[in-house]
Amino acid sequence: MVIETLGDRGLILKFSDEINQIAHLLVMKIDKLLLNSKIEGVIEWIPSYSSITLIYNPEIIKYKCLLEKLKHFDESSVDFVVEGKTVEIPVLYGGKFGPDIEFVASANKISVENVIKIHSGANYEVWMIGFMPGFPYLYGLPPIINTPRLKNPRKFVPSGSIGIAGGQTGIYPIDSPGGWQIIGRTPLKIFDVKKDPPVLFDVGDRVKFIPIDEKGYEKLCR
């Protein structure tokens, strides 16, 4: 673990410069240790692919004291791999809710049915939430349906849209502009300001996409 300085109230605990599973496992372990240790002066931290950005109050804890405490963090003391919860996301693939699914299919020289089969057949893990409230960066997209971003990003992508960008897949939690290839939509509310936690999943949780038809979609909307 390398500790980097991010201003006078931030630190980055870094496990790798690249995206890999070993680094992310360490992220999840240190996330757990931070949660359990309740260091006074630590305000919050943001787990990501291969690092954790930690925000602290420098009046309550000095930089050097915090470094000392963090250096003694022993990730081997977290012997889990406790799996996160599994969240099932029903998706209506294709049609007007998935305007780019045919492009994803043709770009990868497979059928639309196979895109659905492959996308919904894979197991995903939330590796980071960022970009906008509740936007999950999911690990586990099978390479055979990797597709580049749109050349011209859309000004409006409705909330619940499921997208692919390169080797990543994700869900738009709120209406926003966006450049991901949209292959379907979920009727579930991913981000809800009336709930705490506000997002359906946390970093480390598993996500499974379940294909549904229009009737199923309408039923879930009710």
Asked if 63 and 41 touch (Cβ cutoff 8 Å), the reply is no
Q: How far apart are CA 117 and CA 119, in angstroms?
A: 6
Work out whether 131 is an interface residue with other proteins (CB under 8 A).
yes
Q: Is the peptide bond before 197 cis (omega within 30 degrees of 0)?
A: yes
Residues with Cβ within 8 Å of 192's Cβ and at least 6 positions away in sequence, in order, are 198
Binds other proteins (CB under 8 A): choice among 97, 124, 135, 172: 135
Three-class SS of residue 131? coil
Binds other proteins (CB under 8 A): choice among 132, 144, 210, 220: 132
Binds other proteins (CB under 8 A): choice among 98, 134, 160, 163: 134
DSSP state for residue 150 in the 8-state scheme: P
Nearer to other proteins by Cβ, of 93 and 137: the residue is: 137
Nearer to other proteins by Cβ, of 32 and 117: the residue is: 32
Minimum gap (Å) between residue 102 Cβ and other proteins: 29
Three-class SS of residue 222? coil
Structure tokens at 71: 């250096």
Write out the binding residues for other proteins, residues 30-89 only, by CB under 8 A: 43-53, 55, 58-59, 62-63
Nearer to other proteins by Cβ, of 103 and 131: the residue is: 131
Nearer to other proteins by Cβ, of 48 and 147: the residue is: 48
Site string for other proteins, 188-217 (x = CB under 8 A): ---x-x--xxxx--xx--------------
Q: How many chain residues are in contact with other proteins, going by CB under 8 A?
A: 47
Site string for other proteins, 12-31 (x = CB under 8 A): x-x--xxx------------
Nearer to other proteins by Cβ, of 120 and 168: the residue is: 168
Distances in whole angstroms, Cα of residue 67 to Cα of each of 55, 148, 157, 176: 13, 40, 42, 38
Residue in the block written with tokens 């997209």: 141
Residues with Cβ within 8 Å of 118's Cβ and at least 6 positions away in sequence, in order, are 110, 142, 144, 145
Report the DSSP pairing between strands 206-211 and 86-93: parallel
Structure tokens at 26: 């360490």
Nearer to other proteins by Cβ, of 59 and 79: the residue is: 59
Give the residues lining the site for other proteins (CB under 8 A).
4-10, 12, 14, 17-19, 43-53, 55, 58-59, 62-63, 128-135, 137, 173-174, 191, 193, 196-199, 202-203
